[in-house]
Every structure is written in structure tokens, then in C-alpha cells.
Amino acid sequence: MKKWLSVSSLVLALVVSGPVVSNDSTKFPHRAKFKNVQTMELEDLHKQLGNINIVDVRSRYEFDTLHIKGALHIPLSKEKLPAAVRELRAKSAQPIVFYCNGTTCKKSYEAVEFASNAGISNIFAYDAGMDAWSGRYPEQSVLLGKHPVQAAELISKETFKAHLISVKDFEARVEKGAVVLDIRELRQRDAVLYPMRELRAPLDDANKIAEAVNEAKRQKKTLLVYDKVGKQTRWFQYYLEKQGMKDYFFLDGGSEAFYEAKYGKPTFAVPEQG
């Protein structure tokens, strides 16, 4: 949709023209697969603030780290999301817009499908995600409970990439005595990379996370962190920076990259992390 005049005109436009689907498969690689999902562009979402219900379907940790101001949190779940959205619809007839992290994340599309299959209409996927939103509208974002956000407070892609290291480099640093931290969820721990040599703390366990970070500080050692596929570490980086950590690195591609480097292929597929 290129222009919005009102909620009623939006509904009329959809009736006349159908879903808005981009042919730009490079920028939005999942739109072709989810061709029946109606999408909303970045600027349109911003223009409609106050006239729509925005729903963040990422993990609680991601939401608590950085989210769109005014967004509700309903984590993606085929079993639970429809009921939660139905309850939201009972309170408001305004359009419901789901979002996740960015253009490579499928959760916003899946949320629309789950809700649509449950008979809920007037729903959209804002598929440019949190990445594009925070970059364009930091003042309409909430970072670690703080609002408004200054652009300088956001961790750039370049800063994040500067802390990514290869499997070979990761292993070399382990051998030098670095503190290793596994932040995978319990359901993702198919195997331990460094038995007897690593700490384990899922991101939702604040106490264990703090203990692990403080241990690295106490020993004045490098902190090496890995997750499942390398997508959760960027949210964890905000915590590390807030704690004043400087000497830390993330395993590029997570444990899946480790297995692929060692054995030629990943272990098994897991639900997308965003």
C-alpha cells in the first residue's frame, strides 16, 4: 500500500486490489511463499500509529531488549497465538499488524496465517521488521525499557559483526582459556560443544546469565558466546554492553556452524530464532 487515508479506505483498498505483495524477492525473500499474506510497508506503519494494533511475535527476550513503542507481545505459537489475537480483536476492530526481526524472518507471515486460519481478518505482516524500524524511527522504539531511544544507543550491524568470529578462531580462543557461554534454550541443546569447559545459561535465566558474565569479569578473561544459529547473540550484545563488557566474541552461525565445520552438516532443524 503506497498511501493510507483512513482505516475504512484501507479496507476498501484491500477489497478492490487484494493483498499487497512485492516482487522484490531479494529484499523480501519470503513474500513469494506467503503470497496470500497482506503486507504493510515501513512508512505506512509509522503513519498509522494510533490507528492500528501492533503485535510483536518474537521471543520475550527480544521484545524486552528492543521493540516498537506501543507494541503488544504475543509470541508466535500455532496453539496459543490465535486465542490471544481473538481476545485482542474483541477489544478493538482496528487492523492488527504483526512483526518480527527483519526481512529474513518468517514469523510475521506465520502469525498472519495462524490468525487467518482461526477466522480473524484485517490482519497484516510488517515484514521489514524491527531492524528497519529501529534504524528509521529510534524515537518510536523502546530499548531495555527506555524511551525514547537515541540512534547512537543502537548497536549497528558493523559493531555486531566486529564481534563475530569463525569456528576456527573460536576454538583457538577456547584453547587459550577463554570463558565459554552457551545461551541456547534447553530444547536446542542437542549436544554440548565443550563438555566440562563451558557455562550454560539460557537468555531467559537472568541470574545464570549474570553469574556467567561476572565470572568472565572476575577472571579477566575473554567471554565466548554461542547460540543455535547465530541470531540471538545480537540481542544479548545489548546486555553485554550495558554490563561494560568489552572483551567478548560470538560464534558466527552458532552451534550449527560448528557442526557443519566439524562434520560437514548441521545436526537437525530447529524452530527459527528470528
**Choice among 37-46, 56-65, 119-128, 263-272 with the minimum mean pLDDT:** 263-272
Q: Where do the domains of the chain lie, and which CATH numbers do they carry?
A: 7-153 (3.40.250.10), 157-263 (3.40.250.10)
Residue 1 confidence (pLDDT): 41
Phi, psi of 173 (to 5 degrees): -75, -30
Residue 25 confidence (pLDDT): 61
pLDDT at 152 over 90: yes
Q: How confident is the model at residue 273 (pLDDT cuts 50, 70, 90)?
A: low
pLDDT at 86 over 60: yes
Q: What is the pLDDT of residues 205-220, one digit of tens each?
A: 999 999 999 999 999 9
pLDDT at 11 over 80: no
Strand order in the sheet with 123-126: 72-73, 53-56, 96-99, 123-126
Give 153's contacts (C-beta < 8 A, 6+ positions apart). 138, 143, 146
Q: How confident is the model at residue 191 (pLDDT cuts 50, 70, 90)?
A: confident
Distances in whole angstroms, Cα of residue 214 to Cα of each of 57, 217, 240, 244, 248: 31, 5, 10, 11, 13
pLDDT at 274 over 70: no
Beta bridge partner(s), residue 81: none
Query: How much is the pTM?
Result: 0.85
User: Whose CA is closest to 155, among 131, 184, 126?
Assistant: 131
pLDDT at 188 over 70: yes
pLDDT at 7 over 90: no
Q: What is the pLDDT of residues 93-118, one digit of tens each?
A: 999 999 999 999 999 999 999 999 99
Q: What is the pLDDT of residues 217-226, one digit of tens each?
A: 999 999 999 9
pLDDT at 256 over 50: yes
pLDDT mean across residues, the chain? 90
Give 60's contacts (C-beta < 8 A, 6+ positions apart). 73, 75, 204
pLDDT at 45 over 90: yes
